[in-house]
Structure 1
C-alpha cells in the first residue's frame, strides 16, 4: 500500500485537474482548494500566493520531464549522445495531458516572467549535462533549441507538420546527436 500523498502534492494534483477540466483561466486558489478538499487556509499554508502555486507546478512539470528523460536514457546505448537522445525522445512523446498543462504554464509565465526561473535553471543544467557527456556546446545548443522550438510550436498550435515530417525531424535530431 502506498503512503498517502502529502497535502502539497494533493494540492498540485488539484491545480492540474482544475487546469485540465476548466482551463488555466479558471485556476483560482478557491477552485484548487475545493478540488483538493482542503480549506483555503490549508492551501495558503503550502502556497501563499497563486504565483507560488504556479511556480511549484512548473517545478514539478520540469521534474517529471527530467524523470521521463532518465527512463528513456536507460533504454539507450551508453555514449556521448545518450543523454541528449533521451532528451529528444522524451520531448518527442505526445501526451495531451502534459501538453495542456504545459500550455497553461506557458500562459501563466507570459503574465509573470519571474516564474520562468525554474525553467531557466533547468535549461542551463541540461546544457551543462549534455556538454559534460561529451557534446560540444554548439551541437548541444542547436539540439536543445530545435527540440524546444518543436515543443513550443506544438503547444501554441503553430506546427502543421505531418506525422512523417515530425518523425523525420526527430530522426534528424537523433542523427545530429550522434555527431
Structure 2
C-alpha cells in the first residue's frame, strides 16, 4: 500500500469517527469503510493505537504546514505573523477540516498518552509565544482559538459567521499588541 493509500485510510478513519462516533471506531469498521481487508489495514497500522497515533501526527503536520504557508503569504514582515497565521488557521480549520481533529477525540477516549505528539508541538508553540513582549496575552489568544476550534468539533458552536469573523479579527488585532 503506498502513501496515498495510507492517507486514504487516515481520511476514512476520521470520517468513521465523525459520522458514526467513537463507539464505531474499530479497525474492522475502518477497513470496511476503506474497502480493504483488515489484514491490509493491520499491515500499516498494527493496532488501533498506532492508527490513532498516525491520525494525530497527520493532523499536526497538516495544521503546521497550513500555519507556515499562511505565514509566508502575509504581506508585511512582522514578528507576529506566526500568531496571526495560527489564529487564521484555527478559525479556518473550524470551517473546512473538522475531520482532522476527530483523532484528538479518539485519543482522549482511548489513551491520553497518545496525545504526546500534540503536547510536544504545543511546547514548541509556547516557546514562540514566550518570545512575545506580552506572552500572557498571546496565550489567551491561543486558548481562545482552541476554544473556538473545539466548540466546533464538539458541535457546541453557536456563533453566527459574522460573530466568528469579528472574533477572529479582534484576536488578530490583539496579537499585534503581543510583539
Q: Mind listing any 5+ residue stretches in structure 1 that lack a counterpart? A: none
Label 1:94 to 1:58 Cα distance change in 2 as closer, same or farther (>3 A): closer
Number of the residue aligned with 1:19: 17
Q: TM-score with structure 1 length normalisation?
A: 0.82
Q: How does 1:155-170 map to 2 (within 5 A)?
A: 155-170=153-168
Label 1:156 to 1:174 Cα distance change in 2 as closer, same or farther (>3 A): same
Q: Mind listing any 5+ residue stretches in structure 2 that lack a counterpart? A: none
Label 1:97 to 1:87 Cα distance change in 2 as closer, same or farther (>3 A): closer
The offset of 1:115, in angstroms, is: 1.8
Number of the residue aligned with 2:77: 78
Number of the residue aligned with 1:93: 92
| CA RMSD, 1 decimal | 2.4
Q: Deviations over 1:92-128 (max 9, x none)?
A: 1155562244245325413421222121111111121
Partners of 1:53 and 1:97 in 2: CA distance: 23
Q: TM-score with structure 2 length normalisation?
A: 0.82
On the 8 A contact 1:127/1:140 being kept in 2, the answer is no
Q: Which moved more, 1:65-74 or 1:10-19?
A: 10-19
Number of the residue aligned with 1:152: 150
Number of the residue aligned with 1:118: 117
Q: Which moved more, 1:169-178 or 1:4-13?
A: 4-13
Number of the residue aligned with 1:51: 49
Q: How many aligned positions are there? A: 175
Label 1:9 to 1:159 Cα distance change in 2 as closer, same or farther (>3 A): closer
Q: Deviations over 1:113-151 (max 9, x none)?
A: 12221211111111213444x454213211111111121
